[in-house]
């Protein structure tokens, strides 16, 4: 499955799997640094564009990890 043209330079596909319920799970990572608000809007727009081609598509972002510096300083691990 290919990305829509407007997302090719912003997002890369990490993995693509099909569940037993015929849901297509696409895990992506964002190429450029974006704020959480920009990132969420981009991912929602991507999922909307992909669902126009196939309604069974679900977009997932690759986990970023824990970036909370206060929690890291206290030694709390999640």
The pLDDT tens digits for 24-33 are: 999 999 998 8
**Residue 31: count of CB within 10 angstroms of its CB:** 12
pTM of the predicted protein model: 0.76
The token pair that represents 59 in the structure block: 């977009």
| CA distance between the termini of the chain | 34
**Max Cα separation, the chain?**
46
Query: Can you give the pLDDT at residue 36?
Result: 86
How far is 20 from 38, CA to CA, in rounded Å? 32
Domains contained in the chain, CATH given:
5-74 (3.30.300.20)
Q: How far apart, in whole angstroms, are the C-alpha atoms of residue 70 and residue 7?
A: 34
> What does the pLDDT average to over 28-57?
92
Q: Kindly state the average pLDDT of the residues 17-46.
A: 92
């Amino acid at each position: 499955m290919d990305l829509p043209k407007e997302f090719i330079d912003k997002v890369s596909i990490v993995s693509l799997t099909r569940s037993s319920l015929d849901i297509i799970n696409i895990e992506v990572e964002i190429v450029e640094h974006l704020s959480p608000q920009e990132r969420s809007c981009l991912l929602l727009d991507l999922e909307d564009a992909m669902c126009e081609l196939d309604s069974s598509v679900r977009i997932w972002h690759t986990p970023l990890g824990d970036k909370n510096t206060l929690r890291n300083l206290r030694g709390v691990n999640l």
